[in-house]
Amino acid sequence: MTTPVYQWQPTTLEIAARAGIDPADVVRFDHNTSPATVDWAGDAAAKVASGLNEYPGADYRPLRDAIAAYTDTDPDQVVPGAGADELILLTAGAFLPTGGTAVSAPPTYTLYAVATGQRDATLVEVPRRPFDFGFNVEALKEASRTANLIWLCVPNNPTGHRDPDDEIRAIIESTSAIVVLDGAYAEFTGDRWSAWLDEYPNLVVLGTMSKAFALAGARVGYSLSSPTLAAELHRRRPPGSISTLSAALAERALAEPHWAAANVEGIAAQRDSLAGRLSEFGFEMSTTVTNFVLARVGPGARDLAETLMWEDGIVVRSFPQAHTLTFYLRFTVRSPSENDRLIATLSRRLP
């Protein structure tokens, strides 16, 4: 079989050159990153800069301790990685046999298909319901009974909604497979998964420092699971995929969770405002609890995205032809001024 390839958007420098603008004037509404930045990053990096001639400690114990304290787990349940993306690939390598079967519920994060393909495994896709994008629970339960690994994104990317606990539990309880619950946006819903790990020994929860904590460039993620599953992941983890600088930044951020909470609160307020303003263009807005909004724009969605990117330096997330979301665009919530620029540009571009 052909392994799927993750499709990257053009870089900021490429877009700026073609649009004839300064790279600083390109606004990324496509990456689901934080509009706010941490002001202490330089000081935190300076404290460890003198040790950059050495490798980081391979067990990352200080980072694991910080993650465990933040997530109400034990350090032996924590596996750090270079973003949640590395943990997605590690879980596939650890728990999805070559030629095995994985299950997902599209539209969802495309890296699950990439990770499955790298294992030369079969991906059984159980599409979400149209329009509200909820789980097709009975079909997911049926597909999960004979699978090796289940991919669940909660809240879901790119739709932005949060599936109910009872449906998530029903899927986990229907299978003996490893269930990977990607909680990259957990801070936006206040989800705390530690108690679930005691209930479900087949559950692996993923987290990240990229969203609420505004450290996407540091590339730090983690998994939470039983110590037994964590040990399997540790066996496959590279000894130094997280840099000393990145680990230090993550440890500092985890010591100040109130900053992330305030960031989430501010983003949520801007999200609701942005969704309302986009709806005034006639877009159908999906319910979202994350740091992005999903809008049904219509047949011209992809053309509009191309125009915004190459002529205005505004990058939004579009979807391939024949995709469930071909007529949709996804907009990351940015700063008030950047959101204003988006709305002004759409007002100029749309009839």
Summarize pLDDT for 13-70 with one digit per residue, the tens.
999 999 899 999 999 999 999 999 999 999 999 999 999 999 999 999 999 999 999 9
140, HSE (Cβ side, Cα atoms, 13 Å) = 22
**Residue 144, domain CATH:** 3.40.640.10
pLDDT tops 70 at residue 1 = no
Residue 213's pLDDT is what? 98
How does residue 2 score in pLDDT terms, banded at 50, 70 and 90?
low
C-alpha to C-alpha distances, 339 to 56, 151, 326, 335, nearest whole angstrom:
39, 32, 23, 6
Q: Is residue 2 part of a domain?
A: no
Q: Is the dihedral of CA 34, 35, 36, 38 positive or negative?
A: positive
* Residue 320 φ then ψ, to 5°: -65, 160
Contacts of residue 279, defined as CB under 8 A and 6 or more positions apart, other chains included, come to: 285, 295
Residue 351's pLDDT is what? 78
Determine if the peptide bond prior to 56 is cis (ω within 30°): no
Q: Is the same domain home to 103 and 217?
A: yes
Q: Is the dihedral of CA 66, 69, 74, 80 positive or negative?
A: negative
Distance, CA of 310 to CA of 30 (rounded, Å): 14
Q: Is residue 7 part of a domain?
A: no
How many structural domains compose the chain? Answer: 2
Domain region containing 91? 41-255
Conformational region of residue 37, where left means phi above 0, alpha means psi within -120 to 50, and beta covers everything else = beta
pLDDT tens, 73-129?
A: 999 999 999 999 999 999 999 999 999 999 999 999 999 999 999 999 999 999 999
Q: Is the same domain home to 228 and 283?
A: no
Q: Is residue 4 part of a domain?
A: no
End-of-domain residue from the set 216, 237, 255 = 255
From the list 251, 209, 245, 250, the residue with the least C-alpha distance to 55 is 245
pLDDT tens, 192-206?
A: 999 999 999 999 999
Q: Is residue 323 part of a domain?
A: yes
pTM higher than 0.85 for the full model? yes
Q: Is the same domain home to 84 and 187?
A: yes
Q: Is the same domain home to 245 and 263?
A: no
